Structures are given as C-alpha cells and as structure tokens.
Structure 1
C-alpha cells in the first residue's frame, strides 16, 4: 500500500510492506542520490515482514516532486517530522532508519520524535577523501539504540574509521556505499544482502 502525506516540505510518499502481526515498524528513508529502489532498502522490505516487522519505505518530498538534487538537511528533517505521525499510526514502536542521507535524518531526529531505535545504513561519516569533515556527532547524538550497517569499502567511511560510541556496527565485507560487492569477492551480492537483513532482524529482536 502506498500513501501520500502532506508535510511542511511538500508531499511525501510512504510504501508499506506490512507484517501479518507486526511488533515493530521500520521506517526507511532513501539517500540523496537515489530512491527507495536501493538494493538494501528493497531487501529489507522483502525480508522483515516475515519476522514481525512492517517496513515503511519513505520517499522525501523532493524525490516525489521529481527533483534531482536533495535539499538542505533542515528541509529533509522537516519532511521526516511531517510524516512521522503516519508511521506511528499503525501502533507498534517505530525504528527510524535510512541509507546515507536518510540515515543522517534518522539520527538527527530520533530522540525528539520518540523513535524506539535507529538503523543507519551506509552512514556517510564524511565526504569521500575528506575524513576531517566528520559527521560523527549526528550518529553519536542519536540518543537511542543504534545499529550501523557499513560496507567494508565505503568511501564515505569504512567501519574502522568510526569512533567508539554507544552504537553497534556491522560490516558488509567488500561492500561499497550502495553495498555492491565486486564479482571477485568471496561473497556474492545475495550473501551481502542477506548479511544486512540478518543483522537488522537480530537488532529488531534485541529491542524486546
């Protein structure tokens, strides 16, 4: 089911993949360079409902409007805040999540919105080649249980670059920023995606 939601940043869209008896809702925002068709978002939408987690794939207003460039962070946050009541409406606690820029939005707003936890997929710790431009404060300030799933070769921040903090980090071996793995890797693309879904299922279950 897909629904349109009016926010202060424009019309957002949520595509639901519902569990039969949901214990959690996982809301997933997309990155600045793509939409909800991203391989990791689609893999989670397919896998998690069987584990009692409804998945809401969130399209930010700029994407719904057909624009090519993401707006400023405060506008992304406004869009996310505006659709949050629709994510809470089904009843179960909501895990705020997203990939790349969407992960940053989830981290920045989790505490104020009352998210049960945060899932940060491919968190952009810094721009490629610019480790001094760290965004670690957003991650460290989430204020709720947080899982980071990061590609081992992500140019926006490899797992070993992350600071110590009160979050869990799971590495996807060989994965780039989109969790693509090269054909020469000793894991397949399917196995890489399974490692993501397995980690998220375990994380969701750990929340009680």
Structure 2
C-alpha cells in the first residue's frame, strides 16, 4: 500500500481539449490515476468529488475531477436524455487525457448520473479503465422502481465498486443487490448507513472509507 503524504500539490485548473476540471497531482511518483465526475445537479466542485480527489492524491494517485459535457454547456440545470451520448463521450475524453499524462492503471468514478453514464460507457468499452467506482448509482427515479436503469448491467464486465446510502430514494440496498446480481463483473459494495443520495461526504467520511476499501478491492497497493 502506498505511504500517505502530507505534501500534495495545489490542484491545477484544466480547460482544454474538451476537458474542464481540476487535476490533483501527488507530490511524488504517481502510482495510478482516477477520473471522477459528478451527478445531474452538480459539477466538478461537488464536495464528494473534491474530498475524494484530495484523499486519493494524498495516497499517490493523479486525480482528475471533471465536468460532463452537459455542465460545460450550461452552468446549472439537469442533463437532457437526448444528449447523454455527449456526456459519455466527455468521460472517454477525460480518461484519454489522464492516460496521456500518466502511464499505469486508471480507475473511473462517478456520482449518480455521472456514474450511470460511466458504467454505460465501460459496458461498451470494457478495456477503457481498470475499474469503476459508482457512488449512489441511480437504479430508478425516486418512487418509480418500474423505470429501472439497469438494462446495460449484464454487459458490464469491468471490476466495479458500489457506494450506496441506506436511505437513497433512487434505490434501496435490496434493489442494488438485485441489480448487482445481473452483472458478470467482480463487484464490491460499501453501504453507508443513514446516508441519502448525496452521501454527505463530510458527515460520513465517505472519501476516506471508499479509498481504503478501493485500495484493497482493486489491489491498488501493488500498482507502485
């Protein structure tokens, strides 16, 4: 496992080649990379993303927290379903950007809508990244379990970690377990007791909890 460092560079703002966000660079040699994106109501400054980026960078990872295409088009408001393909393309562009910067393994993480689009992209391109971290995966709209967002999961073969609050209205722990059963991928689940859809990063210490579990699940300690 990588030694934790207190000397982490100040994040660098990036706005180029269809990538907009903040790049967190560790003070020493990077042992891997993590691309992180937001949900339908957020952007790259979402507290969960910022806390996660700081935690991973402190452990030797290069982290890019970035805006999806819909957020680059407008500063607020939800994405439009008809343009979801552009959001997936922006995820692929961000991963490609990170790969040009650093060799080695790369993980892809997303909160809610961002995680859903990331999983759909990786279901189509299983070699794109070495693992997925899906935080508050939106299994269905609140109160509408009949509108499941799981059709692509049987095609998802990339190692995947789910992070889910027990009070998430977008899907219960039991519903998540049923959805995971559809997947051929190797999976793990971190259940945050009492958390809702936003996961309340500061209240529950989500960033650190996910990091420690992910290092083991993805065998990231061997990446160095």
Q: If the TM-score is normalised by the length of the shorter chain, which range does it land in? A: 0.7 to 0.9
From 51, 54, 58, the counterpart of 2:59 = 51
Identify the match of residue 144 of structure 2 among 112, 127, 130: 130
Unaligned runs of 5+ in 2: 1-11
User: How far does residue 22 in structure 1 lie from its aligned partner after superposition?
Assistant: 1.7
**Cα displacement string for residues 43-98 of structure 1 (whole angstroms, at most 9, x for unaligned residues):** 21111122222211011232133342313321211222233321211212211111
Counterpart mapping for 1:180-195 below 5 A: 180=200, 189-195=203-209
Deviation digits for residues 93-141 of structure 1 (CA, Å, limit 9, x no counterpart) = 2111110111012111125152111110111011111112112233443
Residue of 116, 121, 127 corresponding to 1:104: 116
Aligned to 1:185: none
Tell me how many residue pairs correspond in the alignment. 198
Distance 1:55 1:82 in 2: 14
TM score, norm. by length of structure 1? 0.84
**Alpha carbons 2:112, 2:136 under 8 Å: kept:** yes
CA drift of 1:174 comes to 0.5
Length-normalised TM-score, structure 2: 0.78
Does residue 82 in structure 1 map to residue 102 in structure 2? no
Alignment of 1:1-208 (within 5 A): 1-6=12-17, 11-19=18-26, 20-67=28-75, 68-72=77-81, 73-89=84-100, 90-110=102-122, 112=125, 114-162=128-176, 163=178, 164=181, 165=183, 166=185, 167-180=187-200, 189-206=203-220, 208=222
- 1:129-174 C-alpha deviation (Å, 9 max, x unpaired): 1112112233443221000001111111122212224421110111
CA-atom RMSD in angstroms: 2.3
Q: Is the 8 A contact 2:48 2:200 kept in 1?
A: no
Give distance in 2, aligned partners of 1:177 and 1:76: 21
Cα deviation for residue 192 of structure 1 reads: 4.5
Specify whether residues 155 and 35 from structure 1 end up closer, same or farther in structure 2 by C-alpha distance, changes over 3 A only. same
d(CA) in 2 for partners of 1:204, 1:16: 22
Deviation at 1:32, TM superposition (A): 0.8
